[in-house]
Amino acid sequence: MTAQRGSQSRSHARRATGILRCPACGNTLKADAKWCPTCNFTGGDSLAIFPGAAPPLLPISDPLGLLNTSGLRKISRTRDKLIRRFPQFQWRISIDRLAIDTPLPLLGFWLLNASPLHGDETAEQRAWTVLLVVNAEHGKVAVAAGYAAETCISDDEWKTVLSTMAAPWAAGNPSAAICQFFDTTRRHLERNWIRSGNQAMNQRQP
């Protein structure tokens, strides 16, 4: 399973641990950049790559039914443990069989930015949303985080989190891979929360 990384942002660039990076090529950007000087990415590019209306972001989108009932139950339990500890975050999973050249970080960026707010979802909640995108066909994963959520965990930490999904995925257990994602994310958030003096991450969602 290969880790990739996407994000949501106000200025078409992502801010993680104080560094802005291009969601397309990952290169560092200036704080006020409107496009990426390396690859010329602008936020509008993801609309061109993924034309049409973005689907609503559901807690778990699994149109092909790759997760079975007991797997979904385990995912719920693991996610609830994380939500009890860090209630400000919203978690979304999109698992599908996609073409090998689907740029997962851009897909995540597009979904996070272009999907309409769903039900009573607020813009603040979207900013705290972390979306895990899984290409089940080729075993690739990416994380896209709203601009509030992405300040809480670094790119390198996401890479570590996503890498822990590889073993259960290779063993043919996608739900265990997703549980691993939630468990490892919780441990990283816990560590960062303690390290930050319990301040930056101690906000409840509005």
Q: Closest separation between CB of residue 26 and Zn ion, Å?
A: 7
Which of 13, 36, 152, 179 binds Zn ion (CB under 5 A)? It is 36
Residue 41 touches Zn ion, criterion: CB under 5 A: yes
Residue 22 touches Zn ion, criterion: CB under 5 A: yes
69 sits in which H/E element: helix 69-85
Instruction: Read off φ and ψ for residue 153, nearest 5 degrees.
Output: -150, 135
Residue 20 touches Zn ion, criterion: CB under 5 A: no
Q: Closest separation between CB of residue 45 and Zn ion, Å?
A: 9
Residue 68 touches Zn ion, criterion: CB under 5 A: no
Number of amino acids touching Zn ion (CB under 5 A) = 7
Q: Is 142 exposed, middle or buried (0-12, 13-18, 19+ CB in 10 A)?
A: buried
d(CA 56, CA 177): 23
Nearer Cβ to Zn ion (102/185): 102
| Residue ranges that bind Zn ion, judged by CB under 5 A | 22, 24-25, 36, 38-39, 41
